[in-house]
Structure 1
Amino acid sequence: MDSTKLNHLVSRAEDLLSRLESILPPAPASIDWSAPAFRWEPRRSGGFLRAIPRPHRIRLSELHNIERQKTLLDRNTRQFLAGLPANNALLWGSRGTGKSSLVKALLTEYSERGLRVIEVDKQHLVELPVIIDLLEKRPERFILFCDDLSFEADDPSYKTLKAILDGSLSAAPDNVLIYATSNRRHLLPEYMADNEQTRIYEGEIHHGEAVEEKISLSERFGLWVSFYPFDQDAYLDIVFGWLERLGVETQQAGAEIRAEALRFALARGSRSGRVAWQFARDWAGRTALTGAE
């Protein structure tokens, strides 16, 4: 493609972005710091924090079969709130096992103690230094939350995250931590070819550059919290836990609920906590509808 055509495409893209921004909701005149949660909204003229006054409320006690994970992240968060040393955390593992829900539950548990969560999409990580500058002198304690985080092999944006986590000359402020969730342990795709450069010297494994690059990002999170698939009993326990939260009486229809919940999971190909929540909503809704008709 010649430079004239390229410049024309760039010009059209910029014009389209300008028109899109003109119809987006305007930035607030000031930040409502009393809100428990925020979302970073990018703008070409400068991003801003949009308050989320009613975030999704989940209690820690409502999350079942992830007791070890709850204990680890809750302790780290309490250290952070107490002004003690605490680690950035990577929550990785199987989909639908409670990674995002655990972060939401911590916000519910500790928002009155000054905890705030800021949701930052992966494509906006390059703006992390700008966000941190806004937070550095605030009295609240902020978790920058990157949900479902992963990078492709040729994605350069992860370098910004690496620098913020550990590697920049500027130290991160004491009132900011990063919690990220991912299905990938190392956040980047792993290929068999990457291991071809691995060598053994005097019995010690030395990874090739490709593997070292992948590991270097995830190891900058001081706390790794791993999540695993639920077995059938754990899945059913989660189902009944959500039904209890929704106010559904389960004693008389227990056997029917179990059978229906297993069929629901089989159709979805997963016994995850997310599928358990979806089944519980479906069951609660249809039984209530039947009773009302």
Structure 2
Amino acid sequence: MSGDPLERIAAALERLAPGPAAAPDWDAASAFVWDAHPDALHPVPEVSRVPLGLLVGIDRQRDTLLANTRRFAEGLPANNALLWGARGMGKSSLVKAVHAELEATGLKLVELQREDIGTVGRLLALLRGAPHRFVLYCDDLSFSHDDAAYKSLKAVLDGGATGRPANVVFYATSNRRHLMPRDMIENERGSAINPAEAVEEKVSLSDRFGLWLGFHACDQDGYLAMIRGYCAAHGLDVDDAALRAEAIEWQATRGARSGRVAWQFFTDLAGRHGVRI
């Protein structure tokens, strides 16, 4: 076989390596999903979301995130945000609802799956040159004991040499405030020569979010207010005493109260009354 063996190896590797992702048609949608196998941004024609006005019991979190995102959409400084806390209390719904409120500004939403965090550098390179501003969003973000992908995330949160692109802000939701198991932190602290330095790198990941917005389990009044709000928005007229009794029985069977449980009850209620949602 003719030719330099090193050149043939280089050519073979070039064929195997994925080329840079092509920019999508940004006008095709206001939201996109990142697919790293192979690299591509897929438009989302219709985002599954709840109107901002129907998110009850999280007024402070709503106002803070909306104001931060509005500033970003206007080209002003804005912080990355970590939405953490109880399951089903509207963390991911709030991110999508805030984007819907500002969609007319040209703001784009890009969803990054947790398992693709390691490819975020390639995604940022694609977004950096785009003529739009982006909310890069990762739902249910957390890291296990042997997971080193958190290091890739630092590029989004401003730790890389090139920093976070000026046209990108990063929002993440998590059930954990510190994005990792507590025993992982304590194990490293106990076995390290310098316990503080051993965990600082991992704990500092949460510290790189300028906004920490906590979400806590709702009480019964908040739970019922959510359901009444859904009924009013969809024109479902139900006797309040019957609604209250059925809603409380529903949450008792779930063993919890949350926005998600409220929506699940309303879905069942609307189906039984022949109301489309």
Same fold flag (TM > 0.5): yes
Q: Output one character per residue of 1:41-93: Cα deviation in whole Å (capped at 9) or x when no partner.
A: 122xx410000011124221111110000011001001101111100100000
Would you say the 8 A contact 1:94–1:228 is kept in 2?
Answer: yes
1:72 counterpart residue number: 64
The structure 1 residue matched to 2:35, chosen from 36, 41, 52, is 41
* Distance across 1 between alignment mates of 2:231 and 2:198: 46
Query: What are the residue-to-residue correspondences of 1:233-248 with 2, within 5 Å?
Result: 233-248=221-236
Would you say the 8 A contact 1:93–1:227 is kept in 2?
Answer: yes
Would you say the 8 A contact 1:36–1:117 is kept in 2?
Answer: yes
2:186 is the counterpart of 1:225: no
2:248 counterpart residue number: 262
Would you say the 8 A contact 1:194–1:208 is kept in 2?
Answer: no
**Residues 138, 70 of structure 1: alpha-carbon distance in 2 compared, 3 angstrom cutoff:** same
* Distance across 1 between alignment mates of 2:114 and 2:33: 12
2:205 is the counterpart of 1:212: no
* Distance across 2 between alignment mates of 1:128 and 1:180: 13
1:173 counterpart residue number: 165
* Distance across 1 between alignment mates of 2:147 and 2:185: 18
* Distance across 2 between alignment mates of 1:137 and 1:172: 12
Runs of 4+ aligned residues of structure 1 deviating over 6 Å after TM superposition are none
* Distance across 1 between alignment mates of 2:166 and 2:22: 27
2:89 is the counterpart of 1:97: yes
1:197, distance to aligned residue in structure 2 (A): 4.5
Q: Output one character per residue of 1:194-243: Cα deviation in whole Å (capped at 9) or x when no partner.
A: 18948xxxxxxx96345423321100111111111100100110111112
1:277 counterpart residue number: 263
Would you say the 8 A contact 2:145–2:184 is kept in 1?
Answer: no
Query: What are the residue-to-residue correspondences of 1:1-293 with 2, within 5 Å?
Result: 31-34=24-27, 35-43=29-37, 46-191=38-183, 194=186, 197=189, 208-250=196-238, 253-288=239-274
* Distance across 2 between alignment mates of 1:98 and 1:121: 18
* Distance across 2 between alignment mates of 1:119 and 1:277: 23
Identity of aligned residues (%): 50
Q: Output one character per residue of 1:87-128: Cα deviation in whole Å (capped at 9) or x when no partner.
A: 010000000001000011012111111111111111111111
SS at match of 1:271: coil
Would you say the 8 A contact 2:156–2:170 is kept in 1?
Answer: no
Would you say the 8 A contact 2:85–2:174 is kept in 1?
Answer: yes
1:135, distance to aligned residue in structure 2 (A): 1.4
Whichever residue aligns with residue 286 of structure 1, its letter is R
1:18 counterpart residue number: none
* Distance across 2 between alignment mates of 1:148 and 1:269: 22
Whichever residue aligns with residue 187 of structure 1, its letter is L
* Distance across 2 between alignment mates of 1:280 and 1:173: 41
SS at match of 1:92: strand
Structure 2: 5+ residue stretches without partners: 1-20
Say what the alpha-carbon RMSD is for the aligned residues.
2.2
* Distance across 1 between alignment mates of 2:198 and 2:250: 41
* Distance across 2 between alignment mates of 1:152 and 1:62: 34
Structure 1: 5+ residue stretches without partners: 1-27, 199-205
Whichever residue aligns with residue 167 of structure 2, its letter is N
> Between Structure 1 and Structure 2, how many residues are aligned?
252
* Distance across 2 between alignment mates of 1:103 and 1:191: 30
Would you say the 8 A contact 1:148–1:181 is kept in 2?
Answer: yes
**Residues 40, 260 of structure 1: alpha-carbon distance in 2 compared, 3 angstrom cutoff:** same
* Distance across 1 between alignment mates of 2:268 and 2:156: 42
